[in-house]
Structure 1
């Protein structure tokens, strides 16, 4: 992990000080983006629409609750690594409550009792530790990311016993639950996602813009100045390439 982080590409000072995305691997990223579009068009999109159309909303919500609950121990560990004991306690408390009186996480009584939902990952932990985000990359199947977040995805997956059981793949319940959760999100927000992926003049550039701005806002909060909501401006056009000259 440390070798991968130390090898992260570092942008030039003028790139870091501008709004231009640091994307030295753009040619390769665009090839991966086209692959992801093909997978989405042929498999993921129709499967997601079929799933949300066939499965009743209450059952779909229960599956999503179950998947979210499985991620709580990992969130608690990452908050602990970040030095945020309060949020770590909240994540652990939510997991214990939803896993017991919430029928193994199928229900969400923690939110009903006013315990706020918290979410983090190892990519955020690396940001707290001072690692830069590195270059933008698009991962096969997973989608937009950065070098730092790609390392985080790897660590979160392979260090969580709920999602990775190499001796018995059938025990990877967290992996399957996350897949169902992503299927649900793709189906429920199909119109918005389709407008970005299939109706934009340059879906790669638009996806990159939205991901980087939202991820930076998520990590920096309201104190950061890197986030600009593309939909807050009435003149924003999803059909236009935001980086066109």
Structure 2
């Protein structure tokens, strides 16, 4: 147990070694790049380049979320994400802008194959920290792999286009890392035990997201900030 949260971490020694690698990578590569991106951020009231990249990356994730909602037997979020993708891809200049959310009342309905597995009754499994990808569980690690395999865009686009889409989604996560840099730094670099803190944040946030945890939510467990800690979270 950690702060009243059930923790299944039989691979803690290995996870801590991976965490040390990820923490060093964030300090020496990811954070400096993110700070470089944020240094040219927009003036108040304007849409900056970082916002455009984040919007585009988020838009590219929507077809996969449509598929997952269908697999979960949830037609309403599937329909909303489908129309959000259609509106932002056409009226939003390929997803750079977000008229679907601002003008049509179609916010993103977040989901992934890890949630699909949870809906199907697959247990969470042990906690894992993955190289570069960050905190996860055995169930969510499988989900990350399957999400790439079932994403319609990667099957419809030419190979170069698929790689470009993937790169844009990674850049979108770097933008989110920049946007919530202070929060992420306080966890990764400012905690006495950053591994335990990241583990707690991830498990609390994820279980709450899947309605499988308690009602208490850690103050750091803001969805967007969590996405910045977990660079491939969708």
Short-chain TM bin: 0.7 to 0.9
Offset of residue 58 of structure 1: 2.3
Give the corresponding residue for 2:224.
none
Q: Structure 1 residues 202-211 or 115-124, which shifts more?
A: 115-124
Match of 1:172, SS? helix
Deviation per CA, 1:73-95: give whole Å up to 9, x if none.
11111000000011110111111
Change (3 A) 1:207 1:157: same
Change (3 A) 1:42 1:69: same
Aligned residues: 213
Give the corresponding residue for 1:31.
17
Q: Structure 1 residues 151-160 or 123-132, which shifts more?
A: 151-160
> Is this contact kept in 1: 2:77–2:109, CA < 8 A?
yes
Is 1:46 aligned to 2:32, yes or no? yes
Distance in 2 (CA, whole Å) between partners of 1:208 and 1:164 is 34
Change (3 A) 1:37 1:229: same
Give the corresponding residue for 2:83.
93
Unpaired runs of 5+ in structure 1?
A: 1-14, 233-245
Is 1:141 aligned to 2:132, yes or no? yes
User: After the TM superposition, which parts of structure 1 deviate over 4 Å for at least 4 consecutive aligned residues?
Assistant: 163-167
Offset of residue 53 of structure 1: 0.9
Deviation per CA, 1:120-159: give whole Å up to 9, x if none.
0000000000001100000100100000000000011233
Give the corresponding residue for 1:106.
96
Give the corresponding residue for 2:219.
231
Change (3 A) 1:93 1:65: same
The alignment's TM-score, normalised by the length of structure 2, stands at 0.85
Distance in 2 (CA, whole Å) between partners of 1:148 and 1:165 is 27
Q: How does 1:1-245 map to 2 (within 5 A)?
A: 19-56=5-42, 57-112=47-102, 113-163=104-154, 168-169=159-160, 171-220=162-211, 225-231=213-219
Higher relative contact order (CA 8 A, sep 6+): 2
Unpaired runs of 5+ in structure 2?
A: 221-234
Change (3 A) 1:163 1:54: farther
> Is this contact kept in 2: 1:101–1:109, CA < 8 A?
yes
